[in-house]
Chain A
Amino acid sequence: MLPFFYMGVFAWSGTFCYRVSLGTWFAWVMLLIYYVVKAIDRVEQEETASAQGQRYALTSCAGLLRNLAHAFGWENELKEKNVDPLFRKSMVFCAWSGLIAIVLFIIGGVILGEMLPPLLRANDPPEEFVRKVNEHLLSIRIGSVFLMLSFALFGPFGAGIAALTRRAEKSPVFSYVQLVFTSCGTLVAVLVAFTWALMAFRPDVYHPTTVQMFADFAYFLAVFSVPVFGGWCVVIALPILLAEEGQECFPRWVGYVNLWAVLLFAPGQLVLFFKEGPFSWHGIVALWIPFVAFFLWILIMCLSMLKAVKADDQVTGP
């Protein structure tokens, strides 16, 4: 409960500055999700434990054998062969890359870069774009540097998920497809930071419509790219949901969370058709929902990665 208290105090003090307050609320929601994920995990564990208990203890002969193996400690021996301390450390690195990407986005995109509570509006005239960008020139520039750092970290984040998927596959297919989507997604995301930086490079020299186009381009790269990020989520969900029971690389609910994420990204494609209202690139359905969902998705995947290698740790332990 203590973290909630701190976050509350911070959020309150942040009301003096709109952007800091928003960033803090963003972090607050992330913390809340962290607790929800932990709670879901506990329910799932209890459920599988009771189901396994029934299956092994009452019905199946194989379960009896397995229990015997467990009693003699053979099972641990079997698993110990697969243990790889470097894998665990690498996975912790990948998971933390994702977590740091979220923090850097909050600094670069929400507080400094003014991307998420959108500073610009799709229906503003070009001169208004130039005026607003000039007004916040330095903070957008510094924010772009943070954005670049944040988006570049998607690479290790995605590679970590692919490595975990690869471990559960006999012949790698989905892990390869994931790597393709990871590189493609990282490229698209990094281009968002490029265009956002270029917009603030020399707004007085560029023709106002060029500044407007850079802003359009940044948001189009971020939210119109549904098949890239949605496809990534689908190829993470499929190997989890298609796996044989007990062979999943992540808990099954993580698969469903990925499918849900696709659904939340999807309205991003509406930005092409509207310049005002909730479906334009400054609106709630096409901008806020996909953006918030995307970073929640990164958070949930990072926590699941940490959880997955923590389970490894327990197997190796005494």
Chain B
Amino acid sequence: MEAPATNNQIPGELGIWLFVAGDLIVFSVFFILIALGQKENADIFVQSRGKLDLWVGVLNTLLLLTASWFVAIAVERCRTGLGATASRYFSLGILCGVGFVANKSLEWGSKITQGINPATNEFFMYFFVFTGIHLLHVLVGIGVLCLLRSVSRSPGLNERRIRTLESGATFWHLVDLLWVVLFALLYLL
């Protein structure tokens, strides 16, 4: 028997794409706010950006990209009927996510011990609030991945469960995408 063709369908559910679009709209507002701040206080932004550790950001980006890669492999395995080996890849994805959270808290901790906090200036206000909101997304995403891990372990992977897996994975990729843009705007520009 051949697996049913899913080419003409979107991965996951319609609803999750609605959620993704909505979240992107909100984050676009955040990105515009950063851009406006950059235009108004260019000096403060350039100066403050110099105080960030670029390599911490690079490490976080790599962690999230790797996590997305693991999740994509896991979903692909579930689709092709190799669900038994998929949960291991979800675990690796979760591990990368936890690594991101740990790295982020170390970064925040070191900033706060240096006396830098959201009240320091406009740049650090945006830095702490937006990476904080993103961190919340990562924490929710780790929860979603744990859920997907248990779903992938269930014996009968029917079409509905595959859709759940795809929807959850889509959310995780969204978290990744948002970080890539935030990384560019806050660390690189």
A interface residues, Cβ below 8 angstroms from B: 40, 43-44, 47, 245, 252-257, 259-260, 263-264, 266-267, 270, 273-274, 277-279, 284-285, 289
Chain B residues whose C-beta falls within 8 Å of the C-beta of A285 in the assembled complex: 29-30, 33, 129
Chain B residues within an 8 Å CB radius of A279: 125, 129
Interface stretch among B13-21, B59-67, B68-76, B108-116? B13-21
Smallest CB gap from A283: residue in B = B33
With known contacts A252-B13, A256-B13, A266-B133, A277–B118 Cβ distance under 8 A: no
Output the nearest chain A residue to B122 by Cβ-Cβ distance. Answer: A277
Q: Are B14 and A259 in contact (CB under 8 A)?
A: no
Residues of A within 8 A of B189 (CB): none
Q: Chain B binding site: helix, strand, loop or mixed by DSSP?
A: helix
Is B26 interfacial (CB-CB < 8 Å)?
yes
Cross-chain contact B14 with A43 (CB below 8 angstroms): yes
Q: Which residue of chain B has the shortest Cβ distance to A44 in the bound complex?
A: B14
In the assembled complex, the Cα of A157 lies from the Cα of B23 at a distance in Å of 26
**Which residues of A have CB within 8 Å of B33?**
278, 284-285
CA distance A129 to B19 in the complex (A): 39
> A-B pairs with CB below 8 Å: how many?
54
Point out residues on B near A: beta carbons under 8 Å: 9, 13-16, 18-19, 22-23, 26, 29-30, 33, 118, 122, 125, 129, 133, 136, 160
Query: Across the interface, which residues of B come within 8 angstroms of A270, CB to CB?
Result: 129
Q: Considering the chains assembled together, what is the distance between the CA atoms of A273 and B23 in angstroms? A: 23
Complex alpha-carbon distance, A278 and B14, angstroms: 32
Task: Please give, as numbers and ranges, the residues of chain A lying within 8 Å of B129 by CB-CB distance.
Answer: 270, 279, 285
With known contacts A263-B26, A285-B29, A253–B14 Cβ distance under 8 A: yes
Residues of B within 8 A of A264 (CB): 22, 26
The minimal Cβ–Cβ distance linking A248 to chain B, given in whole angstroms, is 11
